[in-house]
Amino acid sequence: MHETRLALKPHVLLERDGDEDDIVLIDSHTGRMSACNETASLVVAELQRGSTVARLVEAVMSRYKVADEVATRDVNAVLDVLTYEGLLDTRE
């Protein structure tokens, strides 16, 4: 069984303001901009390398020292927003 790999769609541009945690996503098709909070910025940084949900959860758990359930909830919330905004790409 293969785990689905996740990434940002090619038309998504990233703007960083200073440090790694200040990321704004820009949809080059619509011009819409979305500011990321700290957790979303971490997820987006991992998505730039291509990732799986399991790896995203591990990254959040490691960085913020939270339980699996909390990390899973937070990752899923970010992925839900990215999916809703049409910014998330999935591939097997």
Residues of the chain predicted below pLDDT 50: 1
Q: Which two tokens stand for residue 79?
A: 């992925």
Q: DSSP 3-state assignment of 91?
A: strand
- For the question of whether the overall pTM of this predicted structure is more than 0.75, the answer is yes
Q: Which two tokens stand for residue 22?
A: 């200040």
Q: What is the pLDDT of residue 3?
A: 81
The domains of the chain are located at 5-86
Domain 5-86 maps to which CATH number in 3.90.226.10, 3.40.50.300, 3.40.350.10, 3.90.930.60? 3.90.930.60
What is the per-residue pLDDT across 43-55, written as a single tens digit (0 to 9) for each?
A: 999 999 889 999 9
Q: What is the pLDDT of residue 16?
A: 85
Q: What is the pLDDT of residue 20?
A: 64
How far from 60 is each of 4, 21, 24, 38, 65, CA to CA, in Å? 18, 13, 19, 10, 8
The owner of tokens 């790896």 is 55
Q: What is the pLDDT of residue 69?
A: 98
